[in-house]
């Protein structure tokens, strides 16, 4: 499979799809406040596939919530030039609807006609290789199939930006591999801008154009790794594994800095910068 992403030429477009400027997010107040994100600067260009990677507490999900508009930053500015859809680790399909009706629901909420909804839902199911499964109930599908149905539902929202919060975290390796191929194909065919959160470094190297490594507590951008490996990629290729190793080393160094935290609670001033 040759991936020819219909990438928008960034020089001719004034805006980035997503732009975070000096974004900080704190939860709670006063002494109990937890700073989840601090001084995040991040631009995502149209059609780009960006992975946010980090250990626990790096504010990966918080970033997605901010981009999705589910939450507001404490300081800073989040600009999103487009509509967003969000996928979770759980498919979160509605058990009272058939797979087709699940996929059609966003269109129903958008006021589209029944015939059009069904036609488009079947089309999308076909696209995620679930053609012919539309009449089944979510519980009759495997975990991987459910995630694909959730992907079809997200595509049904007709958005420009897809946000994914560890969408394949609960799947076995074989299924995840195939879903990587699948997602890459969908991305290539639709030209979506994707922000993908994961703790799986290899997955990030396999999928993305750029890996953004975040530190933990507070979450800051530690390093950005451009991924120039030619597509199609394999998760077990030397290039992907090599890059993953480099990112993992950096991530581990980051995690080591927190080894003192356990001994030094409550929060000491963290002397480490970037």
Partner 1 sequence: MATELEDHKLAEEIAGLDALEAHLETHPGRGRQIWSTVWPKVAAVTLALGIWQVVVWSGWKDDYVLPGPDKVLPALADLVGTGDFWKAVGTTMRRAVTGYLLALVIGSAIGVAVSRVRLLRTAVGSLITGLQTMPSIAWFPLAILLFGLTERAIMFVVVLGAAPSIANGLIAGVDHVPPLMVRAGRMIGAKGIRLYRHVVLPAALPTYVAGLKQGWAFAWRSLMAGELLAVVAERPSIGVQLQFARDFSRADDMLAVMIVILVIGIVVDTIFGRADVTIRRRWGLIDTSI
Enumerate binding residues for partner 1 (CB under 8 A).
1-2, 68, 70, 85-86, 88, 90, 92, 94-97, 105-106, 108-110, 129, 137-145, 153, 156-157, 174-175, 178, 181-182, 185, 232
**At residue 93, what are phi and psi to the nearest 5 degrees?**
-75, 155
Sheet holding 34-44, edge to edge: 34-44, 18-27, 75-80
User: How many Cα atoms within 13 Å fall on the side-chain side of residue 43?
Assistant: 6
CB of 271 to partner 1, least distance (A): 38
Cβ proximity to partner 1, 14 vs 96, nearer residue: 96
CB of 139 to partner 1, least distance (A): 2
Cβ proximity to partner 1, 181 vs 261, nearer residue: 181
CB of 220 to partner 1, least distance (A): 27
Cα radius of gyration rounded to whole Å, the chain: 19
Cβ proximity to partner 1, 42 vs 145, nearer residue: 145
CB of 221 to partner 1, least distance (A): 26
Q: For residue 243, which of 214, 274, 215, 203 has the smallest C-alpha distance?
A: 203
Cβ proximity to partner 1, 59 vs 106, nearer residue: 106
Residue 123 exposed, middle or buried by CB count within 10 Å (0-12, 13-18, 19+):
middle
3-state secondary structure at position 97: coil
């Amino acid at each position: 499979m040759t991936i020819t992403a219909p990438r928008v030429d960034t020089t001719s477009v004034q805006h980035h799809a997503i732009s975070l400027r000096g974004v900080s997010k704190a939860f709670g107040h006063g002494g109990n406040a937890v700073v989840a994100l601090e001084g995040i600067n991040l631009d995502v260009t149209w059609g780009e596939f960006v992975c946010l990677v980090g250990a626990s507490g790096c504010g990966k999900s918080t970033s997605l919530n901010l981009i999705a508009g589910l939450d507001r930053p404490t300081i800073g500015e989040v600009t999103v030039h487009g509509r967003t859809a969000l996928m979770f680790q759980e498919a979160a399909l509605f058990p009272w609807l058939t797979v087709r009706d699940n996929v059609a629901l966003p269109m129903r909420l958008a006021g589209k006609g029944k015939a059009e909804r069904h036609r488009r839902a079947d089309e999308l199911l076909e696209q995620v290789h679930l053609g012919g499964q539309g009449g089944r109930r979510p519980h009759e599908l495997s975990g991987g199939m459910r995630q694909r149905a959730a992907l079809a539902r997200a595509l049904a929202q007709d958005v420009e930006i897809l946000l994914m919060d560890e969408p394949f975290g609960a799947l076995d390796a074989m299924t995840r591999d195939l879903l990587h191929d699948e997602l890459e194909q969908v991305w290539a065919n639709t030209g979506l801008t994707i922000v993908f959160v994961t703790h799986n470094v290899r997955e990030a190297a396999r999928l993305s154009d750029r890996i953004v490594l975040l530190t933990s507590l507070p979450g800051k951008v530690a390093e950005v790794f451009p991924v120039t490996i030619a597509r199609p990629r394999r998760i077990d290729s030397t290039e992907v594994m090599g890059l993953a190793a480099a990112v993992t080393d950096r991530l581990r160094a980051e995690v080591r800095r927190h080894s003192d935290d356990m001994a030094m609670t409550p929060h000491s001033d963290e002397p480490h910068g970037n």
